[in-house]
Amino acid sequence: MIITKPYIFKVRYYETDKMGIVHHSNYIRWMEEARLDYLEQLGQRFDKLEADGVISPVVSVSCNYKISCIFGDTVEIKVKLIEYTGIRYVFEYEIVRAGSGETAATGRSEHCVINKDGRPVSIKRRFPAFDSLLSECVNRDKDCF
Amino acid sequence: MIITKPYIFKVRYYETDKMGIVHHSNYIRWMEEARLDYLEQLGQRFDKLEADGVISPVVSVSCNYKISCIFGDTVEIKVKLIEYTGIRYVFEYEIVRAGSGETAATGRSEHCVINKDGRPVSIKRRFPAFDSLLSECVNRDKDCF
Amino acid sequence: MIITKPYIFKVRYYETDKMGIVHHSNYIRWMEEARLDYLEQLGQRFDKLEADGVISPVVSVSCNYKISCIFGDTVEIKVKLIEYTGIRYVFEYEIVRAGSGETAATGRSEHCVINKDGRPVSIKRRFPAFDSLLSECVNRDKDCF
Amino acid sequence: MIITKPYIFKVRYYETDKMGIVHHSNYIRWMEEARLDYLEQLGQRFDKLEADGVISPVVSVSCNYKISCIFGDTVEIKVKLIEYTGIRYVFEYEIVRAGSGETAATGRSEHCVINKDGRPVSIKRRFPAFDSLLSECVNRDKDCF
């Protein structure tokens, strides 16, 4: 299994607010960017599930803000999969200001797969390849950061 | 034909940027909000077209910024339909800071209807009710603001 | 003390994503809109603090998603202040699809006040009027929804 | 003078809307990302102006949409400075889907510099280094794309 690399990008000007710092809602978006990049590195394009008539919505999300990111910052996001039940999967994130190495925020997001009627779908039964991937990732990521 | 009312709302905090003013990209979003509100006032829910297997994308958009809107402002957007060809329709916008009555910006957007293959669809032939609506609006709005 | 009204608005088209539902990050923005509206109903303009050389950033935020909001929905957000320590204050939110009355999501956000150097400021000592307001709200809101 | 490279990035999931394509307002944001990257490549950090007590707001913006960008696309934005008067400067953009090489959109944005009172500031007189840079770029970019 390949080692997934952190997601690195530069803060965009429009992500700042009148406090002069990045608006807190953008960290939630960054977590999504980092999560989809993580999955794509492993060969799982997120929108492929959608082509199969299901979607994978966010069940819950949380973020703890420690130090503000500002325009000009390069941000590095470390992602790990910390839980997978066959139906739900949970990611954790560490958002780092690359210059200083400080942890700006930590986050968590929980996901499931549902069909067009909004009913939960078993990843284990319906998407065996995705199931294997998530199982392997949980084992590997356990001891990360 | 009913008189459409201007679209009124308050600037949201997250729409500001580190200059302390509303980020210019949000005016483009406001124009959409105002346009869909205008159409809905006339009984045309925008997403109803989508249920018919077509979408109505933006062909072009422009905005001239005169005075910055800031957090705390109530904004009023006057909308008029200035052109309709049976295939394309064009809106114009006046974005006003309601407190002072100053024009903050003016804008313009052009739209068509396309099918799933990206081919233009004749509104005139395929959506006669929408066609009538747009025709009436162009006539009525000609002399507005 | 006046009764604060829920924050009501309509989902904006640009808030949707390719799943056809509102992108989860927008609920975090909605919580901010509802929180600032709550404070403004009580006479506390959020940006007034900023004029005093301090800012009130988000310390943590979380959201649990139950039912997806979609374009066309009218959304009603009930806000209550559940904790205030003199330094930090915590809001809870119930996000309701107004048509059906279903709870779409619940959320929580925690806030402090910091000066230009990023140091926490005592609301109790430095902003007595805001302190009184928050104290009264916590008492009143305890038993809401 | 160094050759500025195009700005390259991948479409973010949250930039899509319920039509399944990138929301048109995001192209305006991309143009900003590409413009600031262009200036930074030339050693001009955009926020440095702000540290001098002035801001450089957008005076006008326009975009013509030809082909929709979708999630999964890598996007390449070519930027050129087409006009500089000592007070205002104008950029043009070509937004390309990197996979197919198709032009997805073209855009234009116009900028000035104003002081805290909203009065225009002469770049030529007040910011000679920025003035030289813009003058050189206009000469160089004239014949681009």
pLDDT at B51: 83
The H-or-E segment that residue D26 falls in is helix D25-41
Q: What is the ipTM of this complex?
A: 0.95
B2 belongs to a structural domain: no
Closest residue on chain C to D24 (Cα): C14
Could you say which of D14, D20, D21 has the minimum Cβ distance to residue C25?
D14
Could you say which of B18, B21, B25 has the minimum Cβ distance to residue A20?
B18
* Cα distances (angstroms) measured from residue C121 to each of B77, C113, C132: 39, 5, 16
Q: Does the pLDDT at position C63 exceed 90? A: yes
Q: pLDDT-based confidence at C108, cuts 50/70/90?
A: very high
Mean per-residue pLDDT over chain C, rounded: 94
Q: Does the pLDDT at position C33 exceed 90? A: yes
pLDDT at D29: 98
Best probe of the D interface among C11, C18, C70, by most D CBs < 10 A, is C18
Which tens digit of pLDDT belongs to each residue from A58-68? 999 999 999 99
Mean per-residue pLDDT over chain D, rounded: 94
Tell me the count of B-D CB pairs closer than 8 A: 65
A133 belongs to a structural domain: yes
Q: How far is residue C134's CA from residue C129's CA, in Å, rounded to a whole number?
A: 9
Mean pLDDT of B28-54: 91
**D13–A71 CB contact, under 8 Å:** no
**A14–B13 CB contact, under 8 Å:** no
Q: pLDDT-based confidence at B142, cuts 50/70/90?
A: confident
Closest residue on chain C to D21 (Cα): C18
Q: Does the pLDDT at position A145 exceed 80? A: no
Q: pLDDT-based confidence at D131, cuts 50/70/90?
A: very high
Residues 6+ apart with CB under 8 A from D38: D4, D7, D79, D81, D91
Which tens digit of pLDDT belongs to each residue from D81-122? 999 999 999 999 999 999 999 999 999 999 999 998 889 999
pLDDT at D53: 87
pLDDT at A142: 80
Best probe of the B interface among D22, D45, D60, by most B CBs < 10 A, is D60
User: Above pLDDT 90, what percent of chain A?
Assistant: 85
pLDDT at A39: 95
Q: Taking a contact as any Cβ pair under 8 Å apart, which residues of chain D between 31 and 60 contact chain A?
A: 32-33, 36, 45-47
Q: How far is residue B139's CA from residue B119's CA, in Å, rounded to a whole number?
A: 28
**C58–A18 CB contact, under 8 Å:** no
C121 belongs to a structural domain: yes
B106 belongs to a structural domain: yes
Q: pLDDT-based confidence at B50, cuts 50/70/90?
A: confident
Q: Report whether A19 contacts D40 (CB < 8 A).
A: no
Residue D72 contacts A where some CB pair is shorter than 8 Å: yes
The number of angstroms, rounded, from the C-alpha of B125 to the middle of its chain's C-alpha atoms is 23
pLDDT at D31: 98
pLDDT at A50: 83
Mean pLDDT of D53-74: 95
**B14–C32 CB contact, under 8 Å:** yes
DSSP label at residue B26: H
- Name every chain D residue with its beta carbon within 8 A of the beta carbon of C69: none
Among residues D17, D52, D117, D141, the one annotated as catalytic is D17
Q: pLDDT-based confidence at B30, cuts 50/70/90?
A: very high
Q: pLDDT-based confidence at C142, cuts 50/70/90?
A: confident
Residues 6+ apart with CB under 8 A from B100: none
Residues facing residue C35 across a β-bridge: none
Find the Cα–Cα–Cα–Cα dihedral D49, D51, D55, D56, rounded to 10°: 20
pLDDT at C49: 83
pLDDT at A117: 86
Number of domains composing chain B? 1
Mean pLDDT of B25-47: 94
B59 belongs to a structural domain: yes
Residues 6+ apart with CB under 8 A from D74: D8, D9, D10, D11, D97, D98, D99
Q: Which domain holds residue A73?
A: 7-141
**D32–A46 CB contact, under 8 Å:** no
Q: pLDDT-based confidence at D45, cuts 50/70/90?
A: confident
pLDDT at A40: 95
Closest residue on chain D to B112 (Cα): D65
Q: Does the pLDDT at position C47 exceed 90? A: no
Residue C25 contacts D where some CB pair is shorter than 8 Å: yes
pLDDT at B139: 93
Best probe of the C interface among D18, D24, D26, D27, by most C CBs < 10 A, is D18
Closest residue on chain D to C71 (Cα): D18
Which tens digit of pLDDT belongs to each residue from C51-62? 888 999 999 999
The whole-angstrom distance between D11's CA and the closest CA on chain A is 10
The whole-angstrom distance between B108's CA and the closest CA on chain D is 9
Q: How far is residue B38's CA from residue B81's CA, in Å, rounded to a whole number?
A: 10
- Name every chain D residue with its beta carbon within 8 A of the beta carbon of C18: 13, 16-18, 20-21, 71
Residue D71 contacts C where some CB pair is shorter than 8 Å: yes
Could you say which of D13, D17, D25 has the minimum Cβ distance to residue C16?
D17
Q: Does the pLDDT at position C46 exceed 90? A: no
Which tens digit of pLDDT belongs to each residue from B68-124? 999 999 999 999 999 999 999 999 999 999 999 999 999 999 999 999 888 999 999
Neighbours of chain A (3+ CB pairs under 8 A): B, C, D
Q: Can D37 be counted among the known catalytic residues?
A: no
Which tens digit of pLDDT belongs to each residue from B3-24? 899 999 999 999 999 999 999 9
**C19–A57 CB contact, under 8 Å:** yes
A110 belongs to a structural domain: yes
- Name every chain D residue with its beta carbon within 8 A of the beta carbon of A13: 32-33, 36, 46-47
Mean pLDDT of A11-29: 97
Best probe of the C interface among A17, A22, A28, A117, by most C CBs < 10 A, is A28
Q: Taking a contact as any Cβ pair under 8 Å apart, which residues of chain D between 74 and 113 contact chain C?
A: none
Closest residue on chain A to B17 (Cα): A17
Residues 6+ apart with CB under 8 A from B18: A13, A16, A17, A18, A20, A21, A71, D47, D50
Q: pLDDT-based confidence at C17, cuts 50/70/90?
A: very high
Residues 6+ apart with CB under 8 A from B44: B130, B133
Q: Does the pLDDT at position B1 exceed 90? A: no
Mean pLDDT of D41-55: 86
Q: What's C53's domain CATH number?
A: 3.10.129.10
C106 belongs to a structural domain: yes
DSSP label at residue B71: T
pLDDT at A53: 87
Q: pLDDT-based confidence at D50, cuts 50/70/90?
A: confident
Q: How far is residue A125's CA from residue A18's CA, in Å, rounded to a whole number?
A: 48
Q: How far is residue A32's CA from residue B128's CA, in Å, rounded to a whole number?
A: 42
Q: Report whether B107 contacts B115 (CB < 8 A).
A: no
pLDDT at B117: 86
Mean pLDDT of A31-56: 90
B94 belongs to a structural domain: yes
